[in-house]
Structures are given as C-alpha cells and as structure tokens.
C-alpha cells in the first residue's frame, strides 16, 4: 500500500528525530543538573507561575488546559476550537489554576481535605450528574438503577472516569462545606425576612414628576469662557489625570509562512495521488483529514444543503461531481479540501419539472478530506528568533535604527492611561501593563510571547500624574459646569413644584406648567418592585421611597443620581403575614443564596486575581 511505502520512506527521518531529542534531553536536562539547575530561572526549570509559596509546573498547566480543551471539543461535537477560542481556553485554564491553588490553601488551613473512605462513600452514594441523566442507567419505570451504577463503578475499564470524578469531589465538596457555613452564619431574623418579602412583592400605582438633568435643555444654561475658567480653578483636583504612557511596538503576527502553505498543499496533493492510485477514500480521510468530527467516520459529513452553516461551502464543489466521484484539491477559506459525492436524493421527474429552485436546494450526501493551513512550530520559532535578534540589536544600536535595518515596522499606541488596563493595539494585558508601570521612558521590553503574535516595545513616553491645563480639558470642564448649573435649575424647579402642589394643583398640571424645562410626568399603572417604569427605567431609590409611603401621600423630593422625583402614591398592595408564612422557608433560602452568590463572586474574584502572582507564561506558552 502507498501509505506503508510513505511511512517506510520517512522512518529514517523520524529515527534521527528521536535520537536528536534523546541527545537534547541528555544535554539540557541532565546537563542542567550537573551544572546546577537550581541557579536557573523559574521558567527554565519548567515553572509557569508562582502563587505565594506554591510553584506551578508547566506540566500541571498543560493538564488543566488539555482537560478544558477536550471538554470544548466534546461540547462542539468534535470540532476543534478556533484560535480565538483557544486563547480563551488558555485564560480559563490560568484562572482555574489560580483558584485551585488558593482553594487548596483554604482546604489545608481549615482541615477540609476529605479522607479516602469519605470520598469512596460519596462516589458510591452520589452518582455524577451526567450519569444520573443518562438513560442507560434507568429502569423500565424510568427510575435510576443504582445496581447498574455500582456495576459501572466496579468495571476496571471505567477507572479513569471515576478517578476524574474523585478529583472533582475533592475539589468541589470543600467549597460546598464553606457555602453551608456561610448559609448557617447569615443572621436573618423573621422580621427582616418579612420586610424583604413585602418589599420585593409590593405592587403599586403612582404618579411621578421626574426632574432629570438630561431632560433640561442646554439653552437654559448660559456661560462664558471666563465662567468655565473660574470653575476649573475652583475644581482643579477633579481634572487630575492619571499616569500615561506611549509605546513604540514591533509586532510579528503568528501567521502561516509560504512554506506552511506549501506543506499543506503538498499534503492534500499526496492524499489526492493516493486516492487516484486506488486507495479507499475513508482510509485516506482517516490518515490525512484534520476535521476531528469526520476523520474517524471515513470523512463522511452526511447530507449538506447550500446554506449549511458549517459545511455549506463544500456544496458548490460537490454539485459538479457525479455520484461516487471525488474532486481535485480545492483551496477554501478553511483550508485545502477534497470532496466526494456519496449520494443525491431520489426525486420524481414531475418534481424536477415543477420547480428548478427545489432541485437546486436539494441536499447532497458528502464526504471530504480537510487539510488546514496552520502556522508550524518552525515558523513560530523563526519569528521568535527574529524578534530576539531585533531585541539584541535594539539594545546596542537603538530601537528605531534596529527596526529600520531589519525592515520591521514600528507602530505607536499613542498616549493611554495606565489606570484603565487597556493598551491601544494590544488590548487588556496585565503582564505588559505591569512592565510599563515598573519601568521608565526609553526602556525596551523583553520579547512577549502572546497567542497571536510576538511583541517587543519601547516606552517612548511616560507622563506622570498631573493636572492638565485648562485648554486641554475645556470640554470636560464644560460638561461638569453645565451639569452643576442644571442641578441648580432642578433645585429651583422642585421648590416651585412643591409650592404649586401645596396650592392644590395636580402633578400633571405642575408638569404642564414646567414643560419648557423638560420636566416629565409619568403614570406608572400597576407596577411591581424591580419592574421598569416608562422614561425612568429601573430605579431602586424610587422603589424604596414608595415602599415607605402610604396611599394618597405625596413624597418630599427624592434625590437620585441624575435628578429628583416627586411621587404621589395612588395605591399600594403589600403581601400579608399569612402569605409570607406560606412561602417563608423557600423565600429565606432564596434571599440567603442571593447573598451567598454575591459574597461568593467577590471571594472568587479574589481567588483568581493576579495580585502577588509571578507569571512566567510568556516564556513557556504559545
């Protein structure tokens, strides 16, 4: 067979590759021990990060990443993640490691680690959720069959699965214990619960005057440049600008080289030659195809329509083939493909004549081979080395000259604020931001190795925290000045409205008299707590004030972020004690779990924060 001949031709190459790897291990691993591996940098010893006293080895990071990656492939029916999705998986793996390490410390400090008998008992009595949902473990009456579960548990072939379940239990059960501790410790009395129950289940009907800054016409605020300058001098500290920087970047994108494109083309044409020599399409698909969803099923996709979201681009190729034929290699946006037409639907002659459009829309049964054009390790290595050569040259001869000599383009970020976390042309990157904050103007960075590019930069400017001159912040001064003046107008209008209400005018009449000032009148109709109100939206300050009012009452001015409300409560319905008692138990859990979720989210943010973390990912990953 042609495949076997091809393998025999490449055996010599792979043998030398193995020999080279063995020699490299002797030199770089054993040799490192001989010369003193302890003196090497953490990343040279395979440490991807340090979290406190814990050192995270790269092999652990890779295990976590691979687990999440495999879960993603399974969730997407065997389709590999895109480069963008893979970058997100890398970040997810990173966050998970930080969380796990810090959780392990909490488990040790609180002695929450589970004994082997306890874990075994949990496994025996609490099947994983995915098994509980599996119909294969159901009795004829639909109930869960524990006997089948125990048999699966004792089957040696399932050992790997249940070892993973054990790790999940050891990780998650201590978290549940901590959550239970929080739940028990939350001090919520019956009185507090009843008040909360009444509040969130309140229904009301009200008329509202809304004095909102954004509804006040700009034409009502008169000012001169001198007024703005006086305001600026009086409020100078409000315009204090944070530290800024401007970077010169040299970026090499991780894109396939011409050699990578040529290699992909060679691979698809090799597959094509083997097909022409008589090899089975399924065998070739299994060997060459890079679509994991189809390669193990002889490349068979199934029935495909022209507009198919995933495989529709293959339809025009297959349409030109006869049943049983395969196409020549074709370059598509997703890579090189060879398409085979397996079958066409059987249609009556009458249907064909009736509508040509129906015929065109008919699906085709297709198999295919996909060879992607990917960036190779060699290309990545070449790009990395090129930027390291540039870095060496830049340190000796200057950043701009080195870039010019090596034909590399420099792009600037422009000024950006260091407190925002966002770097123009780069995005959110704490590692790069940390370097900028810790170094001065003129400093050149090391090579940063990111998922989509390699990067070296120079800090062109570093601007300290300062109060900018008036001319630079005039627009901001103007906006703040106008807001302050509009607030003063609102205060006067509210005073005027209160006098009109006391004189006997309705809220609608008051709104009509103040219409030129942009005052809004709102009739809520029956509304629940948390339900949006027309022109107001969701405003908990307003709901809280209404909860404290009685029907028929007119409120004093209710201040909120952008203005003032005056409310006349027409009607209010509040649940009774009896209604509360019926739902008390369930409501108490809902309130407590809501509090726990908020506390948990805050805590989890702390667990996954990068504070105090020494991050060496750029040296080892991507």
pTM above 0.75, yes or no: no
pLDDT bin (cut points 50, 70, 90) of residue 2 is very low
How much of the chain is helix, strand and coil, in % rounded to 5?
A: 55, 15, 25
Residues 502 and 606: their CA atoms lie apart, in Å, by 53
**29 CB contacts (<8 Å, ≥6 apart)?**
none
Question: In terms of DSSP H, where are the helices of 28-82?
Answer: 31-35, 58-75
Residues 287 and 299: their CA atoms lie apart, in Å, by 10
The model's pLDDT over 133-184, given as tens digits with 9 standing for 90+, comes to 888 888 888 888 888 888 888 888 888 888 888 888 887 787 777 766 665 6
Find the mean pLDDT for residues 461-479. 93
Question: pLDDT at position 125, please?
Answer: 86
The model's pLDDT over 516-548, given as tens digits with 9 standing for 90+, comes to 999 999 999 999 999 999 889 999 999 999 999
- Provide the 10 A C-beta neighbour count for residue 50: 16
**36 CB contacts (<8 Å, ≥6 apart)?**
none
pLDDT bin (cut points 50, 70, 90) of residue 264 is very high
C-alpha distances in Å from residue 243, one per residue of 171, 365, 426, 467, 523: 41, 61, 18, 11, 48
Q: Please give the distance of CA 242 from its chain centroid, rounded to a whole number.
A: 28
Residues 436 and 459: their CA atoms lie apart, in Å, by 7
pLDDT bin (cut points 50, 70, 90) of residue 330 is very high
Residues 214 and 349: their CA atoms lie apart, in Å, by 68
Residues 184 and 421: their CA atoms lie apart, in Å, by 39
The model's pLDDT over 70-96, given as tens digits with 9 standing for 90+, comes to 778 777 766 667 666 777 888 888 888
Domain locations in the chain as residue ranges: 1-40, 41-179+611-620, 185-196+578-607, 202-240+473-574, 244-254+378-463, 258-374
C-alpha distances in Å from residue 409, one per residue of 250, 423, 451, 456: 6, 18, 20, 11
- Provide the 10 A C-beta neighbour count for residue 107: 19
- Provide the 10 A C-beta neighbour count for residue 519: 24
Residues 97 and 615: their CA atoms lie apart, in Å, by 12
Question: In terms of DSSP H, where are the helices of 398-456?
Answer: 399-405, 430-438
Residues 64 and 167: their CA atoms lie apart, in Å, by 12
Cβ proximity of 364 and 344 under 8 Å: yes
Helix (H) or strand (E) holding 392: helix 377-397
**587 CB contacts (<8 Å, ≥6 apart)?**
193, 196, 197, 580
Structure tokens at 227: 């007024």
**457 CB contacts (<8 Å, ≥6 apart)?**
247, 248, 249, 250, 432, 444, 445
In this chain, the answer to whether the domains covering 41-179+611-620 and 244-254+378-463 adopt an identical fold is no
Structure tokens at 347: 């249609």
Nearest to 535 by CA among 241, 281, 210, 201: 210
Question: pLDDT at position 88, please?
Answer: 82
Residues 508 and 521: their CA atoms lie apart, in Å, by 6
Nearest to 559 by CA among 494, 509, 502, 507: 494
* Fold category of 202-240+473-574 in CATH: Chitinase A; domain 3 (3.10.50)
CATH of domain 41-179+611-620: 1.10.4030
Helix (H) or strand (E) holding 527: strand 527-528
Structure tokens at 321: 């083939």
**342 CB contacts (<8 Å, ≥6 apart)?**
300, 323, 324, 365, 366, 367
Which of 2.60.40, 3.40.50, 1.10.490, 3.10.50 would CATH assign to domain 244-254+378-463? Answer: 3.10.50
Question: In terms of DSSP H, where are the helices of 186-241?
Answer: 190-200, 225-234
Find the mean pLDDT for residues 41-46. 77
Residues 216 and 486: their CA atoms lie apart, in Å, by 7
* Beta partners for residue 454, in sequence order: 252, 449
Q: Please give the distance of CA 430 from its chain centroid, rounded to a whole number.
A: 16
pLDDT at 7 over 80: no
The widest CA-to-CA distance across the chain, in whole angstroms, is: 103
Residues 425 and 208: their CA atoms lie apart, in Å, by 47
Write the DSSP symbol of residue 216.
Answer: S
Question: pLDDT at position 183, please?
Answer: 58
Residue with the bigger pLDDT between 480 and 4: it is 480
Residue 562 region by backbone torsions, left for phi larger than 0, else alpha for psi between -120 and 50, else beta: alpha
Residues 10 and 606: their CA atoms lie apart, in Å, by 52
Question: pLDDT at position 165, please?
Answer: 83
Residues 330 and 242: their CA atoms lie apart, in Å, by 54
């Amino acid at each position: 067979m042609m495949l076997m001949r091809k393998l025999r031709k490449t055996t010599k190459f792979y043998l030398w590759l193995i020999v080279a790897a063995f020699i490299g291990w002797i030199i770089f691993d054993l040799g490192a021990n001989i010369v003193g591996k302890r003196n090497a940098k953490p990343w040279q010893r395979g440490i991807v990060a340090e979290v406190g006293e814990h050192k995270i080895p790269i092999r652990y990071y890779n295990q976590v990443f691979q687990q999440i990656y495999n879960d993603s492939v399974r969730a997407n029916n065997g389709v590999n993640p895109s480069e963008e999705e893979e970058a997100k998986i890398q970040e997810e793996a990173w966050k998970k490691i930080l969380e796990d390490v810090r959780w392990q410390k909490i488990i040790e400090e609180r002695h929450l680690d589970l004994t082997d008998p306890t874990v075994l008992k949990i496994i025996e009595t609490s099947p994983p959720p995915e098994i509980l949902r599996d119909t294969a473990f159901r009795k004829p009456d639909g109930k869960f069959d524990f006997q089948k579960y125990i048999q699966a548990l004792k089957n040696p072939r399932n050992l790997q699965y249940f070892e993973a379940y054990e790790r999940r239990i050891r990780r998650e059960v201590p978290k549940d214990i901590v959550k239970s501790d929080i739940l028990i410790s939350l001090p919520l009395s019956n009185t507090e619960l009843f008040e909360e129950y009444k509040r969130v289940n309140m229904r009301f009907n009200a008329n509202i005057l809304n004095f909102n800054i954004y509804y006040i016409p700009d034409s009502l605020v008169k000012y001169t440049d001198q007024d703005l300058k006086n305001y600026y001098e009086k409020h100078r500290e409000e315009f204090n600008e944070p530290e800024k920087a401007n970077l010169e970047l040299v970026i090499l994108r991780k894109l396939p080289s011409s050699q990578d494109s040529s290699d992909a083309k060679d691979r698809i044409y090799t597959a094509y030659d083997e097909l022409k020599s008589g090899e089975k399409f399924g065998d070739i698909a299994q060997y060459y195809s890079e679509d994991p969803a189809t390669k193990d099923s002889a490349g068979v996709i199934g029935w495909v329509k022209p507009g198919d979201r995933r495989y529709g681009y293959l339809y025009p190729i297959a349409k030109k083939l006869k049943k049983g034929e395969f196409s020549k290699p074709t370059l598509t946006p997703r890579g090189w493909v060879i398409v085979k037409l397996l079958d066409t639907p059987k249609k009556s002659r009458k249907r064909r004549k009736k509508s040509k459009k129906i015929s065109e829309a008919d699906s085709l049964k297709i198999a295919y081979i996909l060879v992607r054009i990917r960036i190779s390790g060699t290309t990545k290595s070449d790009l990395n080395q090129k930027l390291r050569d540039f870095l060496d040259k830049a340190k000796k001869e200057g950043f701009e000259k080195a870039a010019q000599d090596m034909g590399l383009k420099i792009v600037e970020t422009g000024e950006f604020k260091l407190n925002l976390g966002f770097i123009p042309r780069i995005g959110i990157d704490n590692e790069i931001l940390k370097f900028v904050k810790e170094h001065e103007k003129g400093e050149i960075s090391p090579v940063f190795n990111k998922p989509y590019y390699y990067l070296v930069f120079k800090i062109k400017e570093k601007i300290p925290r300062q109060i900018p001159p008036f001319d630079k912040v005039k627009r901001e001064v103007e906006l703040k000045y106008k807001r302050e003046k509009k607030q003063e107008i609102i205060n006067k209008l509210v005073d005027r409205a209160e006098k009109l209400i006391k004189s006997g005018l309705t809220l609608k009449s008051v709104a009509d008299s103040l219409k030129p000032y942009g005052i809004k009148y709102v009739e809520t109709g029956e509304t629940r707590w948390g339900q949006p109100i027309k022109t107001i939206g969701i405003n908990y300050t307003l709901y809280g004030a209404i909860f404290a009012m009685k029907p028929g009452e007119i409120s004093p001015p209710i201040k909120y972020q952008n203005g003032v409300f005056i409310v006349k409560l027409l009607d209010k319905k509040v649940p009774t004690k009896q209604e509360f008692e019926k739902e008390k138990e369930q409501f108490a859990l809902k309130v407590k779990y809501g509090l726990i979720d908020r506390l948990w989210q805050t805590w989890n943010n702390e667990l996954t924060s990068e504070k105090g973390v020494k991050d060496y990912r750029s040296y080892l990953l991507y």
